[in-house]
A and B are shown apart, each in its own frame.
Chain A
Amino acid sequence: MSNQDELLSLHGRLLAGDLRASPKIVERTLAPLVAIVTRDIAGLSDCQDIEQACFDALFDYLVDPGRYNSKRGSLVTYLAAVAKGKAMTVRRGNQRRTQLETNYSVEEHAERERAEEEGEEKALDRLDWDRFGGELVKDPGDAEIVALIKVGAHTEVAVAKAIGLKIDSAGLAAAARRVERIRGRARRIAGRNDI
């Protein structure tokens, strides 16, 4: 008797309610089933997911063998089609989850940066300029930059103009660095004085 005939005979017994056929069917189909699904489902890196999909396909069939129509193909082919469907669903779920986690991570990072910037701005707002303003001014042009920061007008262009830098990419980059240097001093003052 060929393996296919043997499986058909076992399927018939299971359909008739003979549970003794069940472990024999699992014994004959499980390893080839996992091999087929592993071969056909590329990109599903986790072999646990593939095996689980095959177990689930077999479980579903064993409790309701009437799902399988022997005229439409072999039992292993039928089980492989069901298992592949389940594995694809798992893969789509994994991809969706990964995408959500990535989006969440990007949003979280942006939110953290926003919060840090806001915290920094608030620290600058709360800074006692009369008391600490002098500590921020160390180099020529710092006083002008601090004055612009105090009124919230410290754009790169405004800073560059105020301290006599050229309005080109090098000048604007230098202006940004000067603002950042003063903000760094403000951060340190705020940190030291628990502001």
Chain B
Amino acid sequence: MGHNHDAETERLGQKMAQAARQRPEFVGNALALWENANPGRSLLVELRCDDFALWRLAVTPRPVTSSLAEAAMGLGAELGVNPLALVNILRFADSAGAFASANDDGEMLMAALDNEGDEERD
């Protein structure tokens, strides 16, 4: 990992990570969505990392869905966070974002439930 733990950089980095929570293009926003949906659960525990790694993760642009798993594994290894948990959080945020922006009178939800039923039968 080898993070440079300069105090001013750490202070500003934490603040920038907070700002990233409002930016859908950043991992910070995905972390915020996961946190809101899982009250009482800790990102630090879930990702098995420390605050130094967490803000660095938050200020990273969100990987596109097509390369999400590969990018998340790379980021996880680089920053010392649990890569599988990161993949799950990013996938969760993608799905939550899709549902939140869907203006289809529940069509997307019905499709997801149908798909789930098909998978159970398979």
Contact = CB atoms under 8 A, between A and B. Distances in A.
B48 interface: no
Contacts of A58: 16, 59
Contact of B74 (A20, A31, A62): A20
B15 A59 contact: no
A55 interface: yes
A27 B16 contact: no
Contact of B57 (A17, A23, A56, A59): A23
Interface residues of B, number: 26
A58 to B, nearest CB: 7
A62 B75 contact: no
B42 interface: no
Contacts of B25: 59, 63
Interface string B79-101: 10000000000000000000000
B60 A19 contact: yes
A51 interface: yes
Contacts, number: 61
Interface in A132-180: none
A174 to B, nearest CB: 65
For chain A, give the interface size range: 20 to 34
B71 interface: yes
A26 interface: yes
Interface in B1-56: 3-4, 6, 8-9, 12-13, 15-16, 19-20, 23, 25-26, 56
A27 B13 contact: yes
A52 interface: yes
Please give me the 3 A-B residue pairs with the lowest Cβ-Cβ distance, nearest first.
Answer: A23-B56, A22-B60, A20-B78
Interface of A: 17-20, 22-23, 26-28, 30-31, 34, 51-52, 54-56, 58-59, 62-63
